[in-house]
Structure 1
């Protein structure tokens, strides 16, 4: 029969206690790397663990969607003084004859409050119905002059807009002064109109500009507006411009400096930047080989990274980054975070061991204290 000496009893009891405690539910921030890997089914189901390499980072790289359609980009500038239905005009006419059809020499005939009707027409005595809509006041002056010249020699005509500001644009959101602004000569383009409204009042790095034109809409980043002159589109009557902050966010969990829902701080956000936003990895407990990015991925992207063709519909993918690899930090810099991603940093394996030892030694100390009281 085998007998244990007292020299081996305490170590074996300690080991048994550690194993027993390890099997119990000691507190921790979440599953470890091995549990996540074991829980993913790479053959059936729709959950996959994908180690990130250079090819993977390039395959799933995708810039935030947005931009203007060709209808926005190809629209020419409109004249700030174009006449439109509903405008009210004033006509002043001088004639060069003693007795003219409208008045006498040197005394102008004033036609006040001439309303442009719904068809864009006005009525001028002896000239008849004249199309005013779509013309500038100067162009309309020439048209009326030509028509009156048949009735009275060399008439002089002046056209002014008395009411109606022509084309206007409404600007709301993060600007200095929200309101309705006329399209004037200096403010015929998007950037100029934003400046007219007091400029941007939110962080430029996360500012998005949405332009609504009838049933069409387009969204761009403020930074792109000033880096790409082609995006400084010409405005149209009744355009609506909304200036808003980026609403994208990600969630950080596990062994990070902070566990929270975090807003994007730039147009493009890499994994390394996202980790830095939440205070980096916890140096005491984080496992740098187990940084997971959980994402609802498209079937197309998942097929590409897994080299498959059979997957259909949304897939749940856990991309794993290993910062201990020679190019690990570079890959984390190349891997782009998307809206609604969850970044989870696992605990290092020794952390659970330390918790177990701590729980055990704490329990033994409590037992010794009780024993002392009893004795």
Structure 2
């Protein structure tokens, strides 16, 4: 058998290794841009590939707004001075005699603490009897009690205080400094005032969500919107429940970036540029700035607006592509809002694959030469 000369053997080995590399593939962080395009609807795939421009960024960035329903917004402020069944009252009665009806010897005043308003709205006061308390203000009840007592003791003076009531309390739980059950009183008749009574929110205010539950209804707002939208500072009702929690939205970043991870939102609104910055931006060594993809399942109405079609039915898979090298590319990325569950994928630059191929080939040839030298083959 005729032996190949050393130069011819090396050339043959080079092509053999090249074929092996091409068939086996090279390590990479994910699909190439061309491979993603091959999965488009136009290529009989199941995703629409959409280049982001100003119009697309505007349509794709629409998000459901948080806010209270009409039932919460239309509720008037509770008159905190109105006594209701279940309330607890504190009564103090002064008598203008040394030996009064109620006062102990040597004392001119009598304290009746924690007088419970019963389910029918009545209370009982010694020597004054059973009387209607609910529907009255503390001042109105004071006059009623005074009228009942003045025929039995000269010039009685009565003080009525409305304390915490079982029927007018609100439960505050979650990310506040002090969780608990709080009475609705004059200073705490609205949502923001009650949160302040609970010590304020104990989580970052930028991502704090406030959920108000009333019966079978619930609505959620951003904490900061309580102050930018005064109408959201709604009036409270007895047995309301307030839940304070941190925003749980997140997105995933993959590919040629400074880090690959599931990342939580740090602000209410997050642009594509800000999302990339949270993971260290694009990898300057391998990233392709023309191939930044955002994968998302879009609801029917948004998909129709983005694609400019009215024959779209149901949720659609869309892959938005950002090209930062375009004249408006950075502005488009800045205006494109990331949503909960998005996947951001940055493709590798084409030359990276070439470099990997060359490195694999040269490394393989060096290994082959070393093996040849070790075996003494010429």
* TM-score, normalising length: structure 2: 0.83
Q: Given the superposition, is the C-alpha separation of residues 240 and 163 from structure 1 closer, same or farther in structure 2, using an over 3 Å criterion?
A: closer
Q: Within 5 Å, give how 1:169-208 maps onto structure 2.
A: 169-208=170-209
Question: Which residue matches 2:42?
Answer: 42
Q: Given the superposition, is the C-alpha separation of residues 122 and 206 from structure 1 closer, same or farther in structure 2, using an over 3 Å criterion?
A: same
Provide the C-alpha distance between the structure 2 equivalents of 1:310 and 1:151, rounded to a whole number of angstroms.
85
What stretches of structure 2 of length at least 5 have no aligned partner? 1-5, 103-107
The answer to whether the 8 A contact 1:174-1:201 is kept is yes
The answer to whether the 8 A contact 1:59-1:304 is kept is yes
1:233-289 deviations in Å (ceiling 9; x for gaps): 222222211111100000000111111100001000011110111110111111111
Offset at residue 59 of structure 1 (A): 1.4
Offset at residue 136 of structure 1 (A): 2.0
* TM-score, normalising length: structure 1: 0.84
Offset at residue 204 of structure 1 (A): 1.4
Provide the C-alpha distance between the structure 2 equivalents of 1:80 and 1:318, rounded to a whole number of angstroms.
54
Q: Given the superposition, is the C-alpha separation of residues 115 and 305 from structure 1 closer, same or farther in structure 2, using an over 3 Å criterion?
A: closer
Offset at residue 328 of structure 1 (A): 0.3
Offset at residue 208 of structure 1 (A): 0.9
1:182-226 deviations in Å (ceiling 9; x for gaps): 223222222222222222221111111111122221211122112
How many residue pairs were aligned?
366
Question: Which residue matches 2:51?
Answer: 51
Q: Given the superposition, is the C-alpha separation of residues 129 and 18 from structure 1 closer, same or farther in structure 2, using an over 3 Å criterion?
A: same
The answer to whether the 8 A contact 1:82-1:166 is kept is no
SS in 2 for 1:316: strand
Provide the C-alpha distance between the structure 2 equivalents of 1:163 and 1:262, rounded to a whole number of angstroms.
44
1:153-187 deviations in Å (ceiling 9; x for gaps): 99865444577466222211112121222223222
SS in 2 for 1:42: helix
Provide the C-alpha distance between the structure 1 equivalents of 2:200 and 2:92, rounded to a whole number of angstroms.
40
1:33-73 deviations in Å (ceiling 9; x for gaps): 11100111238664211111111111122234311122222
Provide the C-alpha distance between the structure 2 equivalents of 1:156 and 1:303, rounded to a whole number of angstroms.
73
Offset at residue 331 of structure 1 (A): 0.3
Question: Which residue matches 1:74?
Answer: 74
